[in-house]
Structure formats: structure tokens, C-alpha cells
Amino acid sequence: MTSRRKRAGISAVVGAAIGIMIFFTVMIPMWIFMQSVQTLFMDEVARRLQFEIEKLNEKLDIRVTLQPPELDTFGRRQVFLIIGNRGPIEINVPTLYVESSRIGLQRVDRQYKLAPGEYILEPINFYVEP
């Protein structure tokens, strides 16, 4: 009877040890995985917050003016674009569109990258006819 109790006690200890090993074998990698996922999440939140702050600091100034009609022999007036960055950070303008009641929406085929304080004045290939 004592040998039976000894065997039952030993198998209970061995079973508990196996159970604890399985528990820690599962829990430690899961805890490490959760920590890495939490770190990735917080990095992404910080990156997006920085992006939103930069967007709030953007101060883009866009104006359009027309060429005087006396400068063109047909009386057409070319469109000039004045684009400037009044903010403290660099601004990237990927696309500009010009809307016309006659030909609709037209894309300007140029990207602009403006440093702080930079202004650009350039003609674009659109004309206003008399």
C-alpha cells in the first residue's frame, strides 16, 4: 500500500511538473509575442500622430494669375501658378488640377516639393481665350 502511495505521489509531482512546463512553454512565448505586438502598435500610433502634427503645421499658399492679353498676338491669356510654402516644414504637392467649364478637369503634369519659405512662379500649359 505504501508503494502505491509513493507511486501516486511521484506521478502527481511529475504530472504537476509537466503541467507547469507546458504552461510556461505556452505562456512565455505568448507574453513575448504580445509585448512585440504592443510595441509595433505604439510605434505606429506615434508615427501617425507625428504625421498629423506635420499636416497641421503645413501652410500652403496657391494662387493663379493670368498673363496680360497684350502679350499674346491672339489675345489668349496664359495661366501662371504661384505656389508657396509659408510653414516650417517641407511640403510635397503630388498633384494639381485645373478646372475649366469648357474642357473639364485637367491634371498639371508636375510634382512640387517646397522647402520652408520657398515660392515658385511658373506658367502652366493652360490658356484662357477671349
Q: Where are the domains of the chain?
A: 1-57, 59-128
Pairing of strands 119-128, 77-85: antiparallel
Q: What is the pTM of this model?
A: 0.56
Q: What is the pLDDT of residue 88?
A: 87
Tens-digit pLDDT profile for residues 79-129 = 899 999 998 888 998 998 988 888 888 888 889 999 999 999 999 888 877
Q: What is the spatial distance between Cα 130 and Cα 73, in angstroms, rounded to a whole number? A: 12
Q: Taking Cα atoms as reference points, which of 47, 113, 127 lies closest to residue 83?
A: 113
- If you search the block for the grid coordinates 507511486, which residue do you land on? 7
